[in-house]
């Protein structure tokens, strides 16, 4: 990484010329727009015009570009506290250059038509792959383009970086919500609900489920049972733990990752359940676990699935997360303008307590298409809780609040950008 | 109400003697403990000792009483920002005096043993009924007890009062969450989720569902479709509205009350659905609607059920709600010590904009066992939205924030009371 770091600090050989294109990709988060603010504000101070692609890489292919210079300073600043993706995002993975050369030719055509010399792609694993492919186009297609991946994912599963912008805020939301709902359950358990099941995101890695563990510490504190996608679901052990907790504590909070699996690899939630009309039910491991507990243990159960609420809850964002999201946007512009290519600004932790971190550049090749699972050492031996090592890692990520302005109406003052379209310079893409 | 009000302002004929008993009942809220703080702090300034019953009226029957004088001033103040029920709550309805005289005799026995002269019961419709019954015991059982009902319910369905403490905070949570999740959906709709279904509480009255309408205004703003329990579910009209919204806006947010019903009165959610193992599924109108939309319209759907998260989310409480919760606790003590009986402090709205309100006393007989539905005039003609009248009523209730202290760990500093038990003075109740 040191060679890359040196490159970052190397002064640009010439004054920046051309435009910088920024695009958001994959599932959005509470703080991805803070990254956008970091990108745009930093580029503005360097005199570089930022275009944004509508709906991620698709906006490039379709030549649907947005001129961010039409947005006021205040509007860009307000992105720092506005959840969702201000320019639209997409789920779309580029094929390899060999498999779909026409697509890459179109990208270059659009870059060239709008004099785009830097492309910043803000996303997760798949987007890092896209960014890496585009970074390699310069030579292959004889067009000078630098591409920087910018990290974002609530799943916290990107390689190299210590954590992913977006994760800290969902972690804080889940930890706080677990604590609040558990206070509710504790109040009512004598005559009402005894088991509460909270389903959280994280289909392949249990980072978000683990964050729920920050809600309390000690055997009697909620959450009492965490189900990780890293473990095979053991129905008997699960029911035994819930039963023992209800008998000892009086009630039990269960946090289950949406990705909990059977031994054969099937998700619990893909059971092919049907409602009374024979319609296939959509997902939901929480209702399934609730039904199981009710049937086998006979106690009253409630369940919750916050779904998108957890990853869009900017009102409860983590300060560290919001700051890191901004910082990687800022660094990405600095790397790009310094002539770097095929890198991603990542978070490097230098101290657990007090929490200290810095941003450094890492090669996209070490990040694209990899997936960082939770270390086995983060899960307690019985499989249902988090260890002290996990707490050391997770605790700093939810520290601090990131307050946001509320309007007179009692709602957060979220900004809606104008998103002024850049006039097309090319014939439309067939089929786009 | 004026006679009662006069009574409230009448000076107590003698210095208070005896203890005041406070109990929490029914589903808890984000601010019911603020009411407890109002009760305890007010009684302390009047030199009256407050006992609390563990788990509502059951704690009285079981003689499980808590000595709140063992709690520090700071702990009681922290109740103002701690969700859940600090003393425990219960779902338990007293039978009539004729049907179960023994139960009432036990209550009086416990009151007498602990010199309880005032009983404050903090709950909803059923609890108002319990409070009314106890208020009538004085004459029937020759024991001087005054009973005050104290309002609390997220359902906002208590008669007489303009609104119910607990409702404003869940309303704010749902309005903010609807807005945040909709920003997420809007970002992703081009290639991913096009319809998002959020299920909210309110089995019999659509107040919480209506509050989601505050998230936006205008035909294209989320939520685009609200399903109220006041209306019969019309599948064809629902699907047509969702389809038209997706075609026009590109995506659609649906907010559905858990109490949405078929024409024959059955809840949509009680469809007797079964998972792949043949287990009965527990409730959930959101997954059911999501499956319907997916099947009939063929678009990608996500759904969320925040369940207890919505009513325990003190981190996003409404300022007006938190203040009213405290105010009714304070007023209840003042009414009790002034010698009033069989009343409830209610919220009287004196102005919509600026929002102004006061507390006044209303007879429990006008509140017990009644249910306030939403006026028909609050629902738009097509049945899927809220009217300007509804906005005028609802908007003030979510105004203002009620910030709370966070600890270094990044979680709210919620208090856990000592809950020191008062020594029993009676033989245990058989079977309790």
Cβ contacts of A308 on chain B, cutoff 8 Å: 180-181, 184-185, 193, 196, 302, 304
Q: What is the pLDDT of residue A271?
A: 58
**Contact B214/A27, CB-based, under 8 Å?**
no
3-state class of A399 per DSSP? coil
Mean pLDDT of all residues in A287-316: 96
pLDDT of B358 over the 70 cut: yes
Mean pLDDT of all residues in B131-136: 93
Instruction: Copy the structure tokens of residue B423.
Output: 């020594």
Q: What is the pLDDT of residue A12?
A: 44
Q: What is the pLDDT of residue A420?
A: 98
| pLDDT tens column, A182-206 | 999 999 999 999 999 999 999 889 9
Q: What is the pLDDT of residue A138?
A: 79
| pLDDT tens column, B139-174 | 888 899 999 999 999 999 999 999 999 999 999 999
pLDDT of B7 over the 50 cut: no
Q: Place A137 in a pLDDT band, splitting at 50, 70 and 90.
A: confident
CA distance A183 to chain B (A): 5
**Contact B302/A307, CB-based, under 8 Å?**
yes
Instruction: Copy the structure tokens of residue B218.
Output: 């205008």
| pLDDT tens column, B227-267 | 999 999 999 999 999 999 999 999 999 999 999 999 998 88
Cα distances from A163 to residues A5, A98, A358, A393, in angstroms, run 19, 33, 12, 9
Cβ contacts of A154 on chain B, cutoff 8 Å: none
Distance CA A63, CA A331 (A): 26
Share of chain B above pLDDT 90, in %: 84
Instruction: Copy the structure tokens of residue B32.
Output: 């019911």
Q: What is the pLDDT of residue B272?
A: 54
Cβ contacts of B284 on chain A, cutoff 8 Å: 284, 287, 303
Instruction: Copy the structure tokens of residue B25.
Output: 């009942």
Distance CA A110, CA A104 (A): 10
Mean pLDDT of all residues in B389-411: 96
CA distance A371 to chain B (A): 22
Cβ contacts of B271 on chain A, cutoff 8 Å: 275-277
* Alpha helix ranges (H) inside A301-366: 308-312, 319-337
3-state class of B121 per DSSP? strand
**Contact A276/B271, CB-based, under 8 Å?**
yes
3-state class of A51 per DSSP? strand
pLDDT of B93 over the 90 cut: no
Judged on CB neighbours under 10 Å (0-12, 13-18, 19+), B74 is exposed
Distance CA A210, CA A208 (A): 5
| pLDDT tens column, A233-264 | 999 999 999 999 999 999 999 999 999 999 99
DSSP string of A275-299?
A: -TTSPBPP--HHHHHHHHHHHHH--
Instruction: Copy the structure tokens of residue B68.
Output: 């709140």
ipTM: 0.94
Q: What is the pLDDT of residue A278?
A: 52
Judged on CB neighbours under 10 Å (0-12, 13-18, 19+), B281 is buried
Q: What is the pLDDT of residue B249?
A: 98
Mean pLDDT of all residues in A50-76: 98
Distance CA B218, CA B386 (A): 11
CA distance A338 to chain B (A): 31
3-state class of A427 per DSSP? coil
pLDDT of A112 over the 50 cut: yes
pLDDT of B322 over the 90 cut: yes
Mean pLDDT of all residues in A39-59: 97
Contact by Cβ (8 Å): B266, A260: no
Helix axes A101-113, A125-135, angle to 10 degrees: 70
**Contact B395/A409, CB-based, under 8 Å?**
yes
Instruction: Copy the structure tokens of residue A418.
Output: 């104008």
Q: B356 or A269, which is more confident?
A: B356
Q: What is the pLDDT of residue B17?
A: 87
pLDDT of B97 over the 90 cut: no
3-state class of B271 per DSSP? coil
Helix (H) or strand (E) holding B324: helix B319-337
Q: What is the pLDDT of residue A7?
A: 43
**Contact A190/B303, CB-based, under 8 Å?**
no
pLDDT of B4 over the 70 cut: no
Contact by Cβ (8 Å): A170, A211: yes
Share of chain B above pLDDT 70, in %: 93
| pLDDT tens column, B201-217 | 998 899 999 999 999 99
Distance CA B340, CA B8 (A): 7
CA distance A282 to chain B (A): 6
Q: What is the pLDDT of residue A429?
A: 77
Mean pLDDT of all residues in B81-95: 95
| Residue of B28, B90, B301 lying closest to A191 (CB–CB) | B90
Q: Decide the pairing of beta strands A116-123 and A146-151.
A: parallel
Q: Decide the pairing of beta strands B252-257 and B225-227.
A: parallel
Q: What is the pLDDT of residue A13?
A: 46
Mean pLDDT of all residues in A404-421: 96
Cα distances from B175 to residues A264, B181, B246, in angstroms, run 41, 10, 21
**Contact A411/B215, CB-based, under 8 Å?**
yes
Contact by Cβ (8 Å): B313, A180: yes
The residue of chain B nearest to residue A400, with distances taken between CA atoms, is: B410
Cα distances from A266 to residues A256, A258, A287, B387, in angstroms, run 15, 12, 17, 46
Cβ contacts of A404 on chain B, cutoff 8 Å: none
What length does chain A have?
Answer: 432
pLDDT of B430 over the 80 cut: no
Mean pLDDT of all residues in B61-76: 98
pLDDT of B43 over the 90 cut: yes
Distance CA B378, CA A260 (A): 43
**Rounded mean pLDDT of chain B?**
92
Please provide residue A172's backbone torsions phi and psi, each rounded to the nearest 5 degrees.
Answer: -65, -45
DSSP class of residue A199?
A: E
Please provide residue B49's backbone torsions phi and psi, each rounded to the nearest 5 degrees.
Answer: -80, 135
Please provide residue A83's backbone torsions phi and psi, each rounded to the nearest 5 degrees.
Answer: -80, 180
Q: Place A283 in a pLDDT band, splitting at 50, 70 and 90.
A: low
Q: Decide the pairing of beta strands B343-351 and B356-363.
A: antiparallel
Task: Return the number of other C-beta atoms located less than 10 Å from residue B144's C-beta.
Answer: 13
């Amino acid at each position: 990484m040191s060679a890359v770091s040196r490159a970052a600090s190397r002064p640009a050989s010439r004054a920046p010329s051309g435009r910088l294109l920024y695009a958001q990709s994959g599932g959005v988060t509470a703080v991805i727009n803070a990254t956008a603010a970091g990108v745009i504000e930093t580029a503005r101070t360097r005199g570089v015009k930022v275009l944004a692609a509508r709906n991620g890489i698709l906006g490039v292919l379709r030549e649907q570009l947005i001129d961010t210079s039409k947005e006021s300073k205040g509007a860009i600043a307000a992105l720092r506290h506005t959840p969702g993706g201000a320019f639209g995002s997409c789920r779309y993975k580029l094929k390899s250059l060999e498999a779909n050369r026409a697509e890459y030719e179109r990208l270059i055509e659009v870059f060239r038509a709008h004099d785009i010399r830097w492309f910043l792609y803000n996303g997760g694993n798949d987007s890092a792959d896209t960014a890496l492919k585009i970074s390699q186009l310069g030579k292959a297609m004889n067009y000078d383009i630098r591409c920087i991946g910018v990290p974002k994912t609530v799943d916290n599963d990107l390689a190299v970086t210590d954590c992913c912008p977006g994760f800290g805020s969902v972690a804080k939301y889940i930890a706080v919500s677990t604590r609040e709902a558990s206070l509710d359950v504790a109040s009512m358990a004598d005559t009402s609900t005894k088991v509460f099941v909270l389903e959280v995101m994280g289909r392949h890695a249990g980072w978000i489920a683990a964050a729920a563990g920050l809600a309390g510490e000690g055997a009697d504190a909620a959450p009492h049972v965490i189900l990780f996608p890293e473990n095979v679901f053991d129905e008997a052990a699960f029911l035994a733990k819930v039963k023992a907790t209800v008998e000892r504590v009086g009630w039990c909070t269960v946090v289950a990752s949406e990705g909990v699996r059977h031994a054969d690899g099937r998700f619990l939630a893909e059971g092919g359940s049907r409602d009374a009309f024979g319609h296939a039910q959509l997902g939901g491991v929480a209702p399934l676990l609730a039904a199981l507990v009710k049937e086998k243990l006979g106690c009253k159960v409630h369940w919750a699935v916050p779904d998108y609420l957890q990853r869009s809850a900017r009102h409860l964002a983590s300060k560290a997360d919001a700051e890191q999201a901004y910082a990687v946007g800022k660094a990405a512009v600095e790397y790009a303008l310094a002539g770097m290519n095929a890198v991603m600004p990542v978070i490097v932790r230098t101290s657990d307590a007090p929490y200290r971190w810095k941003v450094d550049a890492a090669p996209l090749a070490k990040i694209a298409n990899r997936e960082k699972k939770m270390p086995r050492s983060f899960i307690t031996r019985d499989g249902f809780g988090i260890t002290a090592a996990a707490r050391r890692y997770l605790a700093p990520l939810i520290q601090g609040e990131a307050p946001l302005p509320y309007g007179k109406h009692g709602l957060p003052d979220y900004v809606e950008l104008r998103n002024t379209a850049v006039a097309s310079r090319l014939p439309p893409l067939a089929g786009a």
